[in-house]
Amino acid sequence: MDSQPLVTDAPSPYHRRRLLLAERMRQAGGGVALIPTAPEMARNRDTQFPYRADSYFQYLTGFSEPEAALLLVAGRDAAESRSILFCREKNAEREIWDGFRYGPDGARARFAFEAAHVIAEFDAKLAELIADQPALWFSIGHDAAWDARVAAALNKVRGESRSGKRAPAAIRDVRAELDAMRLVKDGQELEIMRRASRISAGAHIRAMRFTTPGRYEYEVEAELLHEFRRHGCEFPAYTPIVAGGANACVLHYVGNDQVLRDGDLLLIDAGGELGGYASDITRTFPVGGRFSGPQADVYDLVLDAQSAAIAAVRPGANFADPHDAALKVLAQGMIDMKLLAGSLDAVLESESYKRFYMHRTSHWLGKDVHDAGEYKQGEHWAPLAPEMVLTIEPGCYVRPAADVPEAFWNIGVRIEDDAVVTAGGCEIITAEAPRKIADIEALMRDARGG
């Protein structure tokens, strides 16, 4: 079932989101919002990087062609709000080379916009539509070319003041409104994220089964990519980290070109992107199929920290609670394993644990792997609420040093899962990838024929 193509352009959720954005804009005084999609990027000469639409634009439109923008006029009420798409023209010649394009008429009918025009008409229409509006909702500073187009449209309207036109008095950050919306996922988003998670968990299982001493990190990476793609993921959600031995202590290791050695651990941080939504999973397992004593000690410590963090995810808790829960377990374990000296309070207070655990435990997850959404509201960490999605990813990374017990040198462990906040706690949507030592070892034993 996971290999069926995902249909993500069903119009209804996008239409609903546009109405919701218009309502939020009205509550803040109204106006017109501009949400452009991402530009195409040249890789070299006439070769492009694989195209991916802008997350905000895709969230509101479901439209994934390049050279497009959405103008949303809030109006006085829902009946008056209007969504206007600008997109590439139909072009029989270009479609022979590059494939199907909707064109304005096709896009309007398919995606339920109130109007659609060719992108060549955008600049004139922008100036027309923002005249006499209270605010232009546009996030300045993300793309200089769009900033310049907005400035030109504003100046065009300002130049027409003698004919009674007024430019918007306010420029407001439309992404801030959309960030708040994107933080809480709707049913369609959760359905896609569960499916992306299942595929990605399957990729980690495939990697565990495939891994054996003598294989190269990139061979394992190829297994992950194969599994993502054969189930319909458009891309990996980020560059996979496939880090054998000491490489696991390099947090953003993406070289993935070293040979895997018996006796080492392999840390894999990889997730597929499906229908524009990311999965983000890390598993750490032994190249040879059996954890050594010190590896198992570090691994079980991280797993205990993850369990404590997961238990802290529930409505009413705040974003930092899972991190604090994980820290307490990790810090005590580091003391017990003689990685650190001092009392638990002293280690937490001085943050000496950062030598072995230097990143945070969670981030929002959604269309972007580090997804939209504020982490603080004023001085306070954001409260967790149902249908928010966050990662739970504690780790422990031990670099060699004279004051560190040698048995732990070069052991790097991270365990990362994706949690949907529910009314009673959370749902771990990535749980199909095994986490317990016994389960991992059994799976690897089974793959080797017992």
Q: How far is the CB of 91 from ligand GLY (least distance, A)?
A: 39
Give yes or no for residue 393 binding ligand GLY (CB under 6 A): yes
- Candidates 331, 335, 369, 396; binder of ligand GLY (CB under 6 A) is 369
Distance CA 147, CA 118 (A): 20
Query: E-strand spans in 146-256?
Result: 170-172, 235-236, 241-244
Q: How far is the CB of 188 from ligand GLY (least distance, A)?
A: 24
Given the residues 221, 227, 280, 418, the one annotated as active site:
280
Least Cα distance to 440 among 302, 309, 339, 331 occurs for 302
Contact 278, 238 (CB under 8 A): yes
The interface with ligand GLY within residues 97-116 (CB under 6 A) comprises: none
Given the residues 149, 194, 414, 435, the one annotated as active site:
414
User: Is there a catalytic annotation at residue 414?
Assistant: yes
**Considering beta carbons, is residue 177 or 280 the nearer one to ligand GLY?**
280
User: Is there a catalytic annotation at residue 371?
Assistant: no
Draw the binding track, 132-161, toward ligand GLY (x: CB under 6 A; -: no contact): ------------------------------
Give yes or no for residue 273 binding ligand GLY (CB under 6 A): no
**Considering beta carbons, is residue 107 or 433 the nearer one to ligand GLY?**
433
Nearest to ligand GLY by Cβ — which residue?
Answer: 269
Scan for tokens 């599994």, then name that residue.
Answer: 227
314, amino acid identity: R
User: Is there a catalytic annotation at residue 253?
Assistant: no
Least Cα distance to 374 among 179, 186, 185 occurs for 179
**Cβ atoms < 10 Å from Cβ of 169:** 11
As given in the structure block, the two tokens for residue 74 are 């809030």
CA distances from 45 to 41, 48, 66, 103, 300 (A): 11, 8, 19, 27, 50
User: Is there a catalytic annotation at residue 432?
Assistant: no
As given in the structure block, the two tokens for residue 370 are 């580090």
Contact 357, 420 (CB under 8 A): no
Q: Which does 217 bind (CB under 5 to 8 A by kind): ligand GLY, Mn ion, none?
A: none
Q: Which does 223 bind (CB under 5 to 8 A by kind): ligand GLY, Mn ion, none?
A: none
Give yes or no for residue 238 binding ligand GLY (CB under 6 A): yes
Give yes or no for residue 217 binding ligand GLY (CB under 6 A): no
Given the residues 45, 46, 76, 403, the one annotated as active site:
46
Distance CA 158, CA 205 (A): 60
Q: Which does 238 bind (CB under 5 to 8 A by kind): ligand GLY, Mn ion, none?
A: ligand GLY
Handedness of CA 192, 196, 201, 203 (dihedral sign): positive
As given in the structure block, the two tokens for residue 30 are 């109204």
Distance CA 443, CA 272 (A): 22
**Considering beta carbons, is residue 85 or 302 the nearer one to ligand GLY?**
302
- Candidates 280, 297, 321, 441; binder of ligand GLY (CB under 6 A) is 280
Least Cα distance to 38 among 14, 66, 71, 8 occurs for 66
Draw the binding track, 405-424, toward ligand GLY (x: CB under 6 A; -: no contact): -----------x--------
Give yes or no for residue 269 binding ligand GLY (CB under 6 A): yes
| Interacting residues with ligand GLY (CB under 6 A) | 238, 269, 280, 363, 369, 393, 416
Q: Which residues are catalytic?
A: 46, 252, 269, 280, 359, 363, 370, 393, 397, 414, 416
